[in-house]
Amino acid sequence: MHERPTVFPDKAEWTAGGTSRIPFLAYTDDVLYRQELERFFYKNHWCYVGLEAEIPNPGDFKRTVVGERSVIMVRDTHGEIHVVENVCAHRGVSFCRERHGNRKEFVCPYHQWSYALNGDLQGVPFRRGVKQDGKVLGGMPADFNVREHGLTRLNVAQRGGVVFASFDPCMESFEDFLGPTILSYFDRQFDGRKLTLLGYNRQRVPGNWKLMQENIKDPYHPGLLHTWFVTFGLWRADNKSELKMDAHHRHAAMISTRGNERKQSEVSQVGSFKSSMQLEDPRFLDIVPEPWWGGPTAVMTTIFPSVILQQQVNSVSTRHIQPAGHGCFDFVWTHFGYEDDSEEMTQRRLRQANLFGPAGFVSADDGEVIELSQRGFEQKPFHRTVVELGGRDIADTDHMVTETLIRGMYDYWRTVMEA
Amino acid sequence: MDNTNWQDAGAVDGLPEDDVACVEIQGREIALYTVGTAVFATDNICTHGHARLCDGFLEGHEIECPLHQGRFDVRDGKALCAPLTENVRSYPVRIEAGRVLVRMDSLDSINS
């Protein structure tokens, strides 16, 4: 008898018992997707919203999202940062359309309900009715209490100039959420120096949001997919590397240090794409080691579920994952620098940022393979991926030839989703 | 030389008791407030949401804008609460022979 699989199964099966075979349904099922929003983005997790440097002045705001919910990160007149939901308390209008701006207050265009920058409802037109011929007509009921009708305010955590928020009022501290190991890499990159904003890249990737987390938990694809990296010596399979996770296996850091300048042909285990190629402008790789690195030349940190923190030599950025349905997400890169950067260093960071973003020499590849992965999942939802490089278990490693971080993330995913 | 500009704003008997009314003086909308026997005047347009203060609600010396519930002190035009960030212009008033007179000098000369 030939096996005739059901193409559209009712439920995701984890055939190998652990998490080394991930069912395609985990990327294509709308019910699972909504459950992910509920359990990862709206409860129990701190989600990235932005950098303090994006809203330096009182009244400055930035519109962004937590999961799929539109929120506004805003600095009030006292300098305090608030995150409020972009939904009017009256008729549910998502009233803010600008990405960035400066306001004294928020006013919904529909009926002009007006809110203070911290989300408190301030004014309701015709609350006390309209005067006509000596009488007052209409208005809100006498027991209408403005205090009960503010914007939804999120819990806010700030550290090192980075702002996280949560709809969940009962959150553990941000520090506990990261755990000591990942926190140490967070603090390495956000060490208290003021950040400077260099600019943004945005792209819409037609793939499941988890694929972006997996991409940065997969340290062995760069040498195979990103021929640019190999060609110009930024990646080698023998680079000294470590992979570390938090106790839940949800966050991770990929830490690598470029080897000495040995000739690439002597050590590479991956074929170089035309080793004779030269950059037209070698300044893209004008790398200058910085004291704060403390050794590693690249640390990529995945904070589950919402953000990736990038240090790739002199290029530093946050990459915000903004899910939009099971098969799509927006990916927003915020490139930054530090207050003590020289003008030369700022230019260097900007030039190296050309490796990243939707048209980057390296990152363009990732967006494309994620799209192609999603296509495969959609056409064959009964199937599963294989992530067994380095074994089937989950543990920190001192090399990069492993998919242990992906197995770790799905270990956490199963713990939360199957609870 | 007296260059003050007092304008007749109507009969004091014509104003509602402890309430607000609107008159037009020299092409400008002015809100007149009666508080007991006193009369005060300010610009009629709110400095915040462009609503008419004469459609608002007078409580003692405070006028509440009908749109967003900002409050001004009618005696000096001072903005008393959010969402207001700007005072409303106020004008000196005097009652003479049953008439309300409002001094419509330029802002500079009123303040000096």
Contact A126 B67 (CB under 8 A): yes
CB within 8 Å: B49 and A114? yes
Chain A residues touching residue B69 (CB < 8 angstroms):
122-124, 127
In-domain check, residue B75 = yes
Residue A78, phi-psi category: left (phi > 0), alpha (psi -120 to 50), beta (remainder): alpha
With cut-offs at 50, 70 and 90, classify the pLDDT of residue B66.
very high
Phi, psi (deg, nearest 5) at residue B55? -90, 0
In tens, the pLDDT along A14-57 reads 987 899 999 999 999 999 999 999 999 999 999 999 999 999 99
For residue B51, which residues of chain A lie inside 8 Å, CB to CB? Answer: 125
Query: Does the pLDDT value for residue A284 go beyond 90?
Result: no
Q: Mean pLDDT check: name the lowest of A149-153, A180-184, B32-36, B106-110.
A: B106-110
The domain A47-156: what is its CATH number? Answer: 2.102.10.10
Tens digits of per-residue pLDDT, A207-240?
999 999 999 999 989 888 998 888 887 777 677 8
Q: What is the pLDDT of residue B112?
A: 37
Write down the mean pLDDT value for chain A.
Answer: 93
Q: Do domains A47-156 and A178-417 have the same CATH topology?
A: no
| Tens digits of residue pLDDT in A188-205 | 999 999 999 999 999 999
Interface of A with B (CB under 8 A): 104-105, 107, 112, 114, 116, 122-128, 130-131
Assembly ipTM: 0.73
CA A75, CA A52: separation in Å to the nearest integer?
9
Query: Quick check: bond before A23 cis, omega within 30?
Result: no
SS3 A405: helix
Any idea which of A112-116, A129-133, A309-313, B91-95 has the lowest mean pLDDT? A129-133
Q: What is the pLDDT of residue A71?
A: 98
Nearest alpha carbon to residue A370 among A206, A255, A138:
A206
pTM (two decimals): 0.90
Name the CATH superfamily, with its identifier, for domain A178-417.
Naphthalene 1,2-dioxygenase Alpha Subunit; Chain A, domain 1 (3.90.380.10)
B1 domain residue, yes or no:
no
Report the candidate in B68, B99, B19 with the shortest Cα–Cα distance to residue A120. B68
Q: What mean pLDDT is predicted for residues A57-75?
A: 98
Does residue A210 contact residue A406 with C-beta atoms inside 8 Å?
no
Q: What 3-state DSSP class applies to A364?
A: helix
- Tens-place pLDDT, residues A174-184: 999 999 999 99
At A414, which amino acid appears? R
**Rg of chain A on CA atoms, in Å:** 24
β-pair partners for A131: A136
pLDDT at B101: 95
What is the token pair recorded at A262? 């040995």
Angle at A13 (CA atoms; ends A15, A371), nearest 5 degrees = 100
- What are A389's two structure tokens? 């490089």
Q: Where are the domains of chain A?
A: 47-156, 178-417
Q: How many of the other CB atoms lie within 10 Å of CB of A188?
A: 19
**Cα distances (Å, whole numbers) of residue A284 to A259, A275, A287, A309, A319:** 19, 17, 8, 21, 20
pLDDT band at A384 (very low <50, low <70, confident <90, very high): very high
Q: Is A155 exposed, middle or buried (0-12, 13-18, 19+ CB in 10 A)?
A: middle
CA-nearest residue to B51 within chain A is A125
Residue B10: which domain range? Answer: 6-111
The three-class DSSP label of residue A168 is coil
* A chain contacts of residue B64, beta-carbon cutoff 8 Å: 128
CATH number of residue B21's parent domain? 2.102.10.10
Interface probe for B, chosen from A88, A103, A106, A114 (most Cβ of B below 10 Å), is: A114
Find all residues with CB under 8 Å of B104, minimum gap 6, and list them.
B5, B6, B7, B25, B26, B28, B91
Give the residue on B whose Cα is nearest the Cα of A114.
B68
In chain B, the number of structural domains is 1
* Chain-centroid distance, C-alpha A260: 32
Contact in structure between A82 and A113 (CB atoms under 8 Å): no
Distance CA A189, CA A183 (A): 10
Q: Reduced to 3 DSSP states, what percent helix, strand and coil does chain A have, rounded to the nearest 5?
A: 25, 25, 45
Is B40 within the bounds of a domain?
yes
A323: preceding bond cis by omega (within 30 degrees): no
Beta bridge partners of A413: none
Q: Are A398 and A241 in contact (CB under 8 A)?
A: yes
d(CA B26, CA A198) in angstroms, rounded, equals: 53
Backbone angles phi, psi at A52, to 5 degrees: -55, -35
Kindly give the residue spans of alpha helices, DSSP state H, lying in A190-249. 210-215, 222-225, 227-231
Distance between CA atoms of residues A231 and A264, nearest Å = 9
What is the arithmetic mean of pLDDT over A365-381? 97
Q: How far is CA A328 from CA A40, A41, A86, A204, A417, in A?
A: 17, 16, 21, 7, 20
The whole-number pLDDT of residue A266 equals: 46
- Please give the Cα distance from A76 to A57 (Å, whole number): 8
What is the per-residue pLDDT for A270? 52
d(CA A288, CA A309): 20
Q: Is B80 on the interface with A (CB under 8 A)?
A: no
- Angle (CA) A52-A57-A60 rounded to 5° is 80
Token pair of A138, please? 């209409």
